[in-house]
């Protein structure tokens, strides 16, 4: 699950500024494709907004949302924050994160999922009021509340014959 959230954060950071990302990208990096029904760029407010059936894809990570808003820092092209709204779904192989809102904070190095957030990997699943992943610290926090307690369903891996304890 750590790799999935880290990959998600990296994709959001890179995808947030497609033109600059393409110019500064290493030759080894895969291209990022963002599709939407509409793109609104507002230099005065330092935002780029993708609206309608947004799909952002890089390698095996795909993000779906109704709207994706990228906010840039003042005085430069650095990404400050990326927000995905409505029917957010982040898919990578057998890992899926869903919520109504996802926010990537570049400076803080964290991503939050809120609005019925759920992360599923294979049969394992975690839900709560909010799921926060701290990229630089490689840790996550799932918080509950009065209407949404933390719930985790974990299927232990079974030991094979070769994994049996030796005398």
Question: What tokens appear for 52 in the block?
Answer: 């309608």
pLDDT in tens, 115-151: 999 999 889 999 999 999 887 887 889 999 888 899 9
pLDDT above 70 (res 58): yes
Answer whether 99's CB lies under 8 Å from 112's CB: no
What residue segments make up the domains of the chain, in order of their start? Answer: 2-158
Residue 89 contacts residue 53 (beta carbons within 8 Å): no
- What is the pTM for the complete model shown? 0.74
Token pair belonging to 50: 């993708």
Q: Which of 76, 113, 71, 122 is nearest to 95 (CA)?
A: 122
Could you give the CA distance from residue 139 to residue 109 in angstroms, rounded to a whole number?
Answer: 11
pLDDT tens, 35-50?
Answer: 999 999 998 999 999 9
**63-102 residue pLDDT tens:** 899 999 989 888 867 888 989 999 999 888 888 889 999 9
What is 2-158's CATH number?
Answer: 2.60.450.10
């Amino acid at each position: 699950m750590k790799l999935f959230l880290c990959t998600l954060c990296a994709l959001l950071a890179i995808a947030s500024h497609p033109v600059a990302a393409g110019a500064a990208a290493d030759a080894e990096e895969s291209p990022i494709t963002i599709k939407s029904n509409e793109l609104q760029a507002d230099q005065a407010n330092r935002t780029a907004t993708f609206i309608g059936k947004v799909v952002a894809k890089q390698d095996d990570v795909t993000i779906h949302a109704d709207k994706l808003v990228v906010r840039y820092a003042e005085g430069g092209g650095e990404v400050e924050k990326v927000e995905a709204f409505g029917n957010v779904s982040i898919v990578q192989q057998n890992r899926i994160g869903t919520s109504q809102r996802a926010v990537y904070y570049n400076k803080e190095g964290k991503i939050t999922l809120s609005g019925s957030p759920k992360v599923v990997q294979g049969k394992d699943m975690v839900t709560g009021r909010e799921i926060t992943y701290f990229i630089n610290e490689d840790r996550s926090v799932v918080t509950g509340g009065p209407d949404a307690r933390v719930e985790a369903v974990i299927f232990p891996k079974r030991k094979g014959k070769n994994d049996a304890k030796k005398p």
